[in-house]
Amino acid sequence: MYPLHREREQPIFSTRAHVFQIDPATKRNWIPASKHAVTVSFFYDANRHAYRIISVGGTKAIINSTVSANMTFTKTSQKFGQWADSRANTVYGLGFATEQQLHQFAERFKEVKEAARLAREKSQDKMELSAAALSIAAPQFSQDLSDELQSPPVMCVNGPEDKLFRSQSADITLSSEKERIKKMLSEGSICEMNLESELFTLQDSNAKLVAALHEANANVEQWKKQLVAYQEETDRLRDQVADLEAHGGQGPSDMLKDELTQSLEELENLLRAKDEEIRILQSKKSNFHELEREREEAIHRLQELEMRNVELERRVQNSEQTLASALEDRERAENEVQRVVQILDVKIFDLNDLRQSLVKLISK
């Protein structure tokens, strides 16, 4: 029986990197699994006590690797690392933008690996206790099995056979319904994983934009002061040019006039460049508001998906209850068939005695 309540996996760490996989043919060359940097996250499954590394590109899972105690993450360069997954029969490689991101991922991989080792040891302890309990119950199970094998074959009796057929049909129907609901839950988990990855991406972009806006706001005040100083310098130079033109000097005054004109043009060009930078920063601010709106929409979709998962869990619970009742009906039908078989055995034995008695009478 499946658990009545399923806790979804929780993300514990996320970063962005370029994903590669080893070429299965050569086992030497790297094949890019993503065209650009994607989100790579560590997830923790509270039900199975397992850790997974997951990366989703669009609707496709690029990485789905369960971390085990015998895995090792190796740094092959300042910004590149790799690890081998024997279950997936491949080697994953990650290329980071900075050395610090690689170091953070390697440290988190080491922590998750240690946690997986501890979880595995606890699981082995539980398995040893279960093995001891099974060894105690094994003789009784063997006796029941031998009794069942020695029992006479089931004869064709219409009533019990029809019950068995109906029970098996109901079991098959319930099994197919359970598989369909499990598939729906799996699809819901993938959609939820995609939304969480999208939410992490938006949060990352949001943090970068906030940092850029803070830096821009700090620089705008400085640029405004520089603009005021440039304007004052421009006005002063214009006044000097006007004074020189009023005096109408020649020779060196003409050279000074040309230098001042050139300086004035350079200052005007600088003013236009600063105005363009201010306009670009204002456009980035509008993009920040748009990303905020997209992040809120992603959160809303994530909430709707969680509500859908709750409904699916409720349906799974109802299916499990229906399956349990069907199994009880099947067990009752099997008991009824066993009882009928025993009665038939007695009747057959009586008929054999009667036949032998008739043969003796006829022979006399």
Domains in the chain with CATH codes = 11-127 (2.30.29.30)
CB 168 within 8 A of CB 176: no
Model confidence over 66-104: pLDDT tens digits? 999 889 999 999 999 999 998 888 999 999 999 999 999
CA 318 to each of CA 2, 47, 56, 166, 325: distance values in angstroms, whole numbers, following the listed order: 12, 20, 32, 20, 11
Q: Answer whether residue 211 shows pLDDT above 80.
A: no
Q: Look at residue 6 in the predicted model and tell me its pLDDT.
A: 39
Give 305's contacts (C-beta < 8 A, 6+ positions apart): 188, 191, 192, 195
Give 116's contacts (C-beta < 8 A, 6+ positions apart): 50, 51, 67, 68, 69
Q: Look at residue 240 in the predicted model and tell me its pLDDT.
A: 77
Model confidence over 292-349: pLDDT tens digits? 888 888 888 888 888 888 888 888 888 889 898 899 999 999 999 988 999 998 889 8
Name the residue with higher pLDDT: 161 or 12.
12
Span 224-234, average pLDDT: 82
CB 319 within 8 A of CB 174: yes
CB 46 within 8 A of CB 62: no
- Between CA 154 and CA 157 the distance in angstroms is 8
Q: How confident is residue 190, by pLDDT bands cut at 50, 70 and 90?
A: low
Q: What are residue 264's phi and psi, to 5 degrees?
A: -65, -40
Q: Answer whether residue 165 shows pLDDT above 50.
A: no
Give 261's contacts (C-beta < 8 A, 6+ positions apart): 241
pTM for the model: 0.37
Q: What are residue 86's phi and psi, to 5 degrees?
A: -70, -30
Q: Which amino acid is it at 167? A: S
| Residue among 165, 190, 174, 201 at smallest CA distance from 40 | 201
Name the residue with higher pLDDT: 304 or 223.
304
What torsion, rounded to 10 degrees, do the Cα atoms 244, 250, 251, 256 define? Answer: 10
Q: Look at residue 287 in the predicted model and tell me its pLDDT.
A: 72
User: Which of the given ranges, 8-17, 109-118, 140-149, 254-263, has the highest pLDDT on average?
Assistant: 109-118
Model confidence over 262-299: pLDDT tens digits? 878 888 888 888 888 888 877 776 677 777 888 888 88
Q: How confident is residue 162, by pLDDT bands cut at 50, 70 and 90?
A: very low
Q: Look at residue 73 in the predicted model and tell me its pLDDT.
A: 94
CB 13 within 8 A of CB 42: yes
